């Protein structure tokens, strides 16, 4: 059995198939841990979701911000942006089944054997493992509720809840959790989330902002933290206890697959349109 972690696919279905072929990925034998943002930007979000769903237990996805946004589009809470290229998926006959499957996916997955925690954007440095898993589970339960669209998806947009506080009410806790686990890049000096800067650390000249993974994190004493979301990093982080896997395939760069057992990274360049 091989355990693979893959960066943001974002509808790059052909590249996904190409990279899995390189490692002879076999669902009956191997596992594919998917760091979120399975859809949007690329040309084939529908094919991507259908394929990942077909892998059944061999696929271990978490939700990213684009996956959550798809739920909002499905319920017409937000308008479709043509650049997301989600029209085909939203009009597909099996769209509802794919949406229902997507709602069942968590925001954090733990690989107990290898001591790995995976989320889309990262885990806030001020959170211990219990807090992270408890908060992720709360969002998971909210997504599973019949009224999830009106109670959660409608209210998840906005930058107002940018700091963690034990006194936050239940709704604010859910929103902060979504913001942190699916949108986080930089933190302000007081620990607040920054929602604006997407630059790579070497290009950022604002001393007020620090990459979340550059702040000491007690989880890294025992765990490797796997994340995506931040394409500008191109996989470059300052510690082996972090694995950054978004390498901008949908922006013309490449898809990255991390083979956990060998600590090898395999890449697949963006394919040219025929």
State the pLDDT at residue 274. Answer: 63
In a domain, 19, yes or no: yes
pLDDT of residue 180: 98
Write out the chain's pLDDT in tens, 274 residues: 999 999 999 999 999 999 999 999 999 999 999 999 999 999 999 999 999 999 999 999 999 999 999 999 999 999 988 888 999 999 999 999 999 999 999 999 999 999 999 999 999 999 999 999 999 999 999 999 999 999 999 999 999 999 999 999 999 999 999 999 999 999 999 999 999 999 999 999 999 999 999 999 999 999 999 999 999 999 999 899 999 999 999 999 999 999 999 999 999 999 987 6
Element (H, E) at 129: helix 129-144
Q: Checking DSSP bridges between strand 116-119 and strand 224-227, what pairing results, if any?
A: parallel
- The residue written with tokens 């090898």 in the block is 264
Domains identified in the chain, total number: 1
The answer to whether residue 79 sits within a structural domain is yes
Q: Is residue 252 part of a domain?
A: yes
From the list 182, 50, 176, 193, the residue with the least C-alpha distance to 107 is 182
Evaluate whether residue 256 is within a structural domain: yes
Domain that includes residue 150, residue range: 3-269
Residue 274 lies in a domain: no
Domain assignment present for residue 121? The answer is yes
Answer whether residue 70 is part of any domain. Answer: yes
pLDDT of residue 167: 96
CATH code for the domain of 114? 3.60.21.10
CA 23 to CA 234: how far, in whole Å?
A: 21
Q: How far is CA 22 from CA 69, 72, 83, 267, in A?
A: 31, 35, 29, 9
**117 within a domain of the structure (yes/no):** yes
């Amino acid at each position: 059995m091989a355990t693979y972690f893959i960066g943001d696919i974002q509808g790059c279905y052909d590249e996904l198939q190409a990279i899995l072929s390189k490692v002879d990925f076999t669902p009956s034998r191997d596992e594919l841990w998917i760091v979120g943002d399975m859809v949007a930007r690329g040309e084939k979000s529908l094919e991507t979701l259908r394929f990942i769903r077909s892998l059944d237990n061999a696929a271990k996805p978490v939700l990213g911000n684009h996956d959550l946004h798809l739920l909002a589009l499905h319920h017409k809470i937000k308008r479709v942006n043509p650049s997301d290229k989600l029209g085909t998926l939203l009009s597909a006959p099996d769209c509802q089944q794919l949406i229902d499957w997507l709602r069942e996916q968590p925001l954090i997955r733990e690989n107990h054997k290898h001591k790995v925690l995976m989320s889309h954007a990262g885990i806030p440095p001020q959170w211990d493992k219990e807090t992270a898993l408890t908060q992720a589970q709360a969002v998971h339960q909210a997504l599973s509720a019949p009224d999830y669209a009106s109670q959660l998806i409608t209210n998840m947009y906005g930058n107002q809840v940018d700091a963690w506080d034990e006194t936050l009410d239940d709704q604010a806790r859910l929103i902060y959790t979504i913001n942190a686990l699916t949108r986080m890049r930089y933190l302000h000096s007081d620990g607040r989330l920054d929602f604006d800067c997407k630059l790579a650390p070497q290009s950022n000249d604002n001393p007020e902002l620090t990459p979340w993974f550059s702040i000491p994190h007690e989880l890294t004493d025992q765990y490797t933290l796997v994340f995506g979301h931040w394409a500008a990093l191109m996989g470059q982080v300052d510690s082996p206890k972090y694995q950054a896997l978004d390498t901008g395939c949908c922006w013309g760069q490449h898809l990255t697959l991390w083979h956990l057992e060998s600590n090898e990274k395999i890449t697949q360049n963006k394919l040219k349109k025929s």
